[in-house]
């Protein structure tokens, strides 16, 4: 695939206000800095990157990207220690490199007004590590911790029996982490979300930390419900649930694996669920036109991808090791 021309990017800018370098591992593309500069020249002010963070450990590289125009670094980390993270990325040494990368971005965060998000895919192999992950990540000036529970869809279905955790097990460790670090999370204003159906989260948590389906990462009009709900079902309990409008249902493959006994119809009013995270509201105040924003996603060859796919990536993908 050829890279986009400046003219094509200028054309894309008319429809999209944000660009996300998110496909594959963008930092292995030697032209990345020039792509970022080109996006800036085309008028994009919000440029994001989703990365495994390893290249960011090279002294000066993160600053080059920031100077070129990257505003948000979304770094994938899947454990609090080398044992867990390196096993999941299947790359020995990747944890140390990624943490060094996070440190490099942290050093220049204030100078360039950067946002740092940590993306973590939660599997059977690391869900017990959530409290320690929160402890480690809070040592850095992060803006958001986004825990994406393994989606049993597409290719992932083949390994679901090995990797897909039971939601109620994940909820218990997530709850422990939140209770233990709540003061620090609030003091630092860190946005913490987890992609579990709201009925799995206990009330005190669901009102603040539930990620009712990935709307955190991308502004603009919601994608069609039919797209978000592909592969999901509303089960018997959902029919009586007061939160159905905030929910996209349950992965059908999850029900096949674990049954439906964890899902319980909710009675609480949907208005009691917090819709704006503090961090997001602050950004919205600085950008009065955000409500009209949409988001373009470009791979390292520069191909525009639809917003829905980007949104799923922002919420669900993990950058490899
Ligand atoms: S609609 Fe169904 S899956 Fe969603 S919160 Fe309600 S009971 Fe749970």
DSSP 126-171: TGGGHHHHHHHHTTS--SEEEEEE----GGGGGGHHHHPPPHHHHH
| Axis-axis angle for helices 130-137, 167-188 (nearest 10) | 20
Predicted local confidence at residue 203, as pLDDT: 81
Q: Range of 283's domain?
A: 6-226+273-316
> How far is Cα 9 from Cα 18, in angstroms, rounded to an integer?
11
- Domain for residue 262, yes or no? no
Q: Where are the beta strands (DSSP E) in 230-312?
A: 232-233, 250-251, 295-298, 304-305
> C-alpha distances in angstroms, 164 versus 32, 67, 152, 161, 237?
34, 39, 7, 6, 22
Residue 265 lies in a domain: no
Indicate whether residue 39 lines ligand 1 (CB < 6 A): no
Q: Could you tell me if residue 268 is inside a domain?
A: no
Instruction: Identify whether 237 is part of a domain.
Output: no
Average pLDDT for residues 249-270, to the nearest whole number? Answer: 91
Could you tell me if residue 251 is inside a domain? no
Alpha carbon nearest to ligand 1 atom 3, residue = 249
The residue whose CA has the least distance to atom 8 of ligand 1 is 199
Q: Write the pLDDT tens digit of every residue in 157-188.
A: 889 999 999 999 999 999 999 999 989 998 99
| 142, part of any domain | yes
Taking all residues of the chain, what is their mean pLDDT, rounded to a whole number? Answer: 80
* The overall pTM is greater than 0.85: no
Which residue's CA lies nearest to atom 2 of ligand 1? Answer: 238
Number of structural domains, the chain? 1
**C-alpha of residue 241 to centroid of ligand 1, in Å:** 6
C-alpha 311/C-alpha 228 separation (Å) is 10
In a domain, 240, yes or no: no
Tell me if residue 273 falls in helix, strand or coil.
Answer: coil
Distance (angstroms) between ligand 1 centre and the Cα of 242 equals: 8
Average pLDDT for 256-285: 67
| pLDDT tens column, 77-134 | 999 999 999 999 999 999 999 999 999 999 999 999 999 999 999 999 999 999 999 9
- What pLDDT is attached to residue 232? 86
234 within some domain: no
Looking at residue 57, which CATH number applies to its domain?
3.20.20
Q: Indicate whether 298 pLDDT > 50.
A: no
Q: Which of 157-161, 237-241, 277-281 has the lowest mean pLDDT?
A: 277-281
């Amino acid at each position: 695939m050829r890279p986009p021309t400046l003219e094509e990017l200028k054309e894309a800018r008319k429809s999209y206000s944000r660009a996300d370098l998110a496909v594959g591992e963008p930092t292995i593309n030697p032209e990345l800095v020039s792509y970022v500069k080109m996006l800036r020249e085309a008028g994009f002010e919000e440029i994001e990157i989703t990365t495994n963070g390893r290249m960011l450990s090279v002294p000066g590289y993160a600053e080059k990207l920031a100077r070129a125009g990257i505003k948000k670094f979304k770094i994938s980390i899947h454990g609090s220690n080398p044992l867990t993270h390196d096993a999941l990325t299947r790359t020995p040494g990747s944890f140390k490199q990624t943490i060094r990368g996070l440190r490099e971005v942290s050093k220049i965060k204030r100078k360039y007004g950067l946002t740092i998000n940590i993306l973590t895919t939660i599997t059977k192999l690391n869900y017990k590590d959530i409290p320690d992950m929160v402890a480690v990540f809070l040592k850095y000036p992060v803006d958001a911790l986004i825990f994406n529970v393994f989606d049993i869809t597409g290719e992932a279905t083949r390994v679901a029996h090995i990797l897909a955790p039971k939601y109620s097990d994940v909820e218990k460790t997530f709850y422990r982490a939140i209770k233990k670090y709540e003061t620090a999370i609030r003091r630092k204003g860190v946005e913490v979300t987890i992609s579990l159906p709201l009925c799995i989260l206990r009330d005190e948590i669901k009102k603040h930390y539930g990620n009712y389906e990935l709307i955190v990462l991308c502004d603009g009009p919601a994608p069609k419900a039919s797209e978000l709900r592909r592969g999901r079902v509303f089960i018997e309990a959902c029919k009586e649930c007061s939160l159905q409008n905030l929910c996209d249902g349950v992965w059908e493959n999850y029900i096949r694996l674990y049954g439906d006994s964890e899902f319980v119809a909710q009675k609480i009013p949907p208005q009691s669920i917090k819709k704006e995270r503090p961090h997001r509201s602050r950004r919205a105040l600085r950008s009065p036109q955000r409500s009209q924003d949409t988001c373009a996603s470009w791979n390292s060859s520069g191909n525009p991808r639809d917003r829905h796919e980007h949104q799923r990536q922002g919420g669900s993908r993990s950058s490899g090791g």
